[in-house]
């Protein structure tokens, strides 16, 4: 997609009632930035560097700022693209900045189609993986520029508009697929928790998640892969953030399953699914320099530890995998990007090799 309006907003929290504090737009024509707009009102300039809307006032219902936004949208009429666009769109539609039927696309999904073998698709991880120049600061204008650089490097070619569906249509959609043979694997073996109020019946969402291969549980733990949030998500959201678990909205979930759990997709036979799994069972290259080494993966989220342990032990011929946060008798430590760990400082003293996860991901994909 050569023409788009890249967007990033900073909000008070996950709930729309928390308000909008920054909106940043980049107008892209023929893959080049032709204009940018930062919509915000400074309240405390000394706090701006903290990001996450700090230092700015709530502009959710500010008429002049809404007009400033709509002027850009009405002038160019390009599709809106954001990372996890359902979140940004929820706020903008709620406060009347954006019409409900405006065409929106999720860069996270487009990049996942372009490169399906990354360990994470958070914008912070993608900035590290693609080694872009613009850092991620959680200041809206900086982050939307970082997203632009990621998109240029990832070069996604498959863009699917955000799916929007009413609760009644969603119910009909579930009922129409209940008795279809075959299965979807969009959430295969993923542990999913739902939380918060939703216009979409939770019992049906759980049914769809299971149909897509998920294991639905009631509480957030280290084994949880994904938290789907509605309004007022409460303590489960806090727990997921603490454990660095992926967090998505109800709208994102509907978008994901609507593209995968269609009647056409659902008729895929189990044999074809099994064959596809076998062909793509190990998409990475071997890293010969790790052969015979002991690797520490303690500084990674649990869900990534499990995946990496399988890769290292079954495909890399390493001597062992260490998950101890105080274990120094190792050859290499693979750790989460952009984090400051005591173990890394000790590793530097002991001259132990350290590799950020994004760099290791690049090594696997060469």
The residues, ordered by sequence, that sit 6+ positions from 281 with a Cβ below 8 Å of its Cβ are none
Structure tokens at 216: 């639905």
What is the rounded CA–CA span in Å between residue 223 and residue 191? Answer: 7
Which CATH number is 167-279's, of 3.30.9.10, 3.40.50.11270, 3.40.50.10190, 3.90.1570.10? 3.40.50.10190
Matching fold, domains 167-279 and 288-365: yes
Per the CB < 8 A criterion, the answer to whether 91 and 66 are in contact is no
Which CATH number is 4-154's, of 3.30.420.10, 1.10.645.10, 1.10.357.10, 3.30.70.1520? 3.30.420.10
3-state SS assignment for residue 166: coil
Separation in Å, CA 284 to CA 88, 289, 303, 356: 34, 15, 18, 17
The predicted structure's pLDDT at residue 182:
47
Q: 239 — phi, psi (to 5°)?
A: -65, -40
Query: What is the full per-residue pLDDT of the chain (366 aa) written as tens digits?
Result: 899 999 999 998 888 889 999 999 999 999 999 999 999 999 998 888 887 888 999 999 999 999 999 999 999 999 999 998 988 998 999 999 999 889 999 999 899 989 999 999 999 999 999 999 998 888 999 999 999 999 999 999 989 888 666 667 666 666 665 544 445 677 888 999 999 888 788 888 888 888 888 999 999 998 999 999 887 788 898 898 888 888 888 878 887 776 554 433 333 333 334 434 433 467 898 899 899 999 999 888 888 888 899 899 988 889 999 988 766 689 999 999 877 777 788 888 888 899 999 999 999 997
Task: Locate the DSSP E strands across 166-290.
Answer: 191-195, 215-217, 226-229, 246-249
Per the CB < 8 A criterion, the answer to whether 123 and 143 are in contact is yes
What is the rounded CA–CA span in Å between residue 143 and residue 279? Answer: 37
3-state SS assignment for residue 124: helix
Kindly report the pTM of this predicted structure. 0.78
Domain boundaries, the chain: 4-154, 167-279, 288-365
Per the CB < 8 A criterion, the answer to whether 25 and 37 are in contact is yes
The residues, ordered by sequence, that sit 6+ positions from 102 with a Cβ below 8 Å of its Cβ are 73, 80
The predicted structure's pLDDT at residue 227:
93
What is the rounded CA–CA span in Å between residue 252 and residue 264? Answer: 21
- Please give the DSSP secondary-structure letter assigned to residue 217: E
Structure tokens at 83: 């990372």
Structure tokens at 170: 């969603």
- Please give the DSSP secondary-structure letter assigned to residue 16: G
The predicted structure's pLDDT at residue 273:
40
Greatest extent of the chain over all pairs of C-alpha atoms, in Å: 64
Per the CB < 8 A criterion, the answer to whether 73 and 39 are in contact is no
The predicted structure's pLDDT at residue 173:
65
The predicted structure's pLDDT at residue 215:
93
The predicted structure's pLDDT at residue 184:
62
3-state SS assignment for residue 8: strand
Per the CB < 8 A criterion, the answer to whether 198 and 153 are in contact is no
Strand order in the sheet with 294-296: 320-322, 294-296, 332-335, 353-356
Per the CB < 8 A criterion, the answer to whether 3 and 39 are in contact is no
The predicted structure's pLDDT at residue 264:
36
Q: Which CATH class is domain 288-365?
A: alpha beta
The predicted structure's pLDDT at residue 147:
97
What is the rounded CA–CA span in Å between residue 154 and residue 233? Answer: 33
Helices (H), 101-223: 107-114, 123-129, 140-154, 167-177, 202-211
Structure tokens at 257: 């399953």
Per the CB < 8 A criterion, the answer to whether 350 and 328 are in contact is yes
Q: Give 332's strand partners.
A: 295, 353
How far from the centroid of its chain's Cα atoms is residue 57's Cα? 27
Instruction: For the chain, state the CA radius of gyration.
Output: 22
């Amino acid at each position: 997609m050569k023409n788009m309006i890249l967007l990033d907003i900073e909000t008070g929290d996950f709930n729309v009632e928390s308000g909008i504090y920054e909106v940043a737009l980049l107008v892209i024509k023929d893959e080049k930035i032709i204009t940018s707009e930062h919509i915000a009102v400074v309240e405390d300039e000394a706090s701006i560097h903290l990001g996450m809307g700090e230092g700015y006032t709530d502009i959710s219902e500010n008429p002049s700022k809404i007009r400033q936004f709509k002027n850009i949208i009405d002038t160019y009429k390009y599709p809106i693209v954001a990372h996890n666009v359902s979140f940004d769109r929820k706020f903008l539609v709620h406060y009347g900045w954006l019409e409900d039927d405006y065409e929106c696309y999720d860069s996270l999904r487009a990049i996942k189609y372009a490169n399906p073998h990354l360990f994470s698709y958070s914008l912070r991880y993608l900035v590290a993986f693609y080694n872009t120049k613009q850092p991620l600061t959680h200041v809206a204008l900086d982050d939307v520029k970082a997203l632009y650089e990621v998109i240029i490097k990832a070069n996604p070619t498959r863009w699917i508009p955000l799916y929007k569906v009413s609760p009644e249509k969603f119910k009909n959609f579930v009922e129409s697929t209940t008795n279809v043979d075959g299965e979807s694997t969009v959430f295969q073996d993923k542990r999913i928790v739902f939380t918060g109020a939703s216009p979409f019946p939770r019992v049906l969402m759980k049914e769809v998640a299971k149909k897509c291969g998920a294991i639905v549980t009631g509480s957030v733990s280290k084994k949880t892969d994904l938290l789907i949030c509605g309004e007022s998500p409460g303590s489960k959201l806090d727990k997921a953030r603490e454990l660095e678990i992926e967090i998505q909205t109800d709208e994102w979930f509907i978008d994901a399953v609507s593209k995968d759990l269609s009647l056409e997709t659902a008729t895929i036979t189990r044999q074809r699914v099994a064959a596809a799994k076998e062909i793509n069972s190990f998409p990475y290259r071997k890293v010969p320099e790790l052969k015979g080494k002991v690797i520490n993966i303690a500084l990674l989220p649990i869900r990534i530890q499990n995946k990496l342990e399988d890769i290292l032990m079954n495909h890399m011929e390493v001597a062992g995998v260490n998950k101890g946060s105080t274990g120094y008798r190792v050859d290499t430590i693979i750790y989460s990007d952009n984090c400051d760990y005591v173990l890394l400082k000790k590793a530097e003293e002991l001259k132990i090799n350290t590799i950020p996860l994004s760099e290791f991901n690049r090594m696997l994909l060469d």
